[in-house]
Amino acid sequence: MANGRIAIMGAMPEEIEPVINALDNVHTIVYGDNKYYEGTYHGKEVVVAYSKIGKVFATLTATTLIEKFGCDLLLFSGVAGAINSKLKIGDLIVANGLCQHDLDITAFGHPFGYVPEGNVCIPTDEGLRHIAKEIAQKKGLALQEGLIATGDQFVADPERKEWIAATFNADALEMEGASVAVVCNALNVPFFVLRAISDSADMDASFNFDEFLESSAKISADFILSMVDAIER
């Protein structure tokens, strides 16, 4: 892979704080009403940012990391809610593709998640997924792979969860990944999305989320840093 900066993104401070704490030579730059943390990890240049929650902020942050800070590869670390019953709190899932479950122009005869000249599902970088599988094997971690659905909703409704699972064949839910996928796909930047399961996207989601956010975010961040080590620059 080309020699350049690696972008590391999360949606919330808790998702990137463990990453920033592991960096050397950290410099903070304020741009576009957000903070970007430039630093190095074992000699590799990285730029870290949390976008704030939701698709619009994630789009803004991903674009800024690529266009202003010159990142040529993007790794997303964070938490997600499970909709596949096989996923439990603390499990890791890597997205093989991402879709927008709240994108709906079906009134015009299009499928859910689709707009003209777009795609229902955008695949992540196969090479980065391969690296992740090797890391998981070395660490003795179970790493699931599946489709992650994104929307500007914190889903705490079992019926909505079941609809998303059935409509998109999705395994987990979050609020940023698919918008990052759209940006990276359009700008030809390899990207990777890793989520640690923090809740089960059911009626107890708000309670579980608060309890497990910090621990799940640390699991995901540790894995992302191992990815940085393994990526050839």
**Catalytic (active-site) positions:** 15, 199
Residue keyed to tokens 């074992």: 42
Residue keyed to tokens 């576009």: 32
Find all residues with CB under 8 Å of 114, minimum gap 6, and list them. 103, 105, 120
Please check whether residue 87 is in contact with residue 142, taking contact to mean a CB–CB distance below 8 angstroms. no
Q: What type of residue is 212? A: F
Tokens of 218: 């640390």
Please check whether residue 193 is in contact with residue 183, taking contact to mean a CB–CB distance below 8 angstroms. no
Backbone angles phi, psi at 126, to 5 degrees: -65, -40
Please check whether residue 4 is in contact with residue 74, taking contact to mean a CB–CB distance below 8 angstroms. no
Backbone angles phi, psi at 223, to 5 degrees: -65, -40
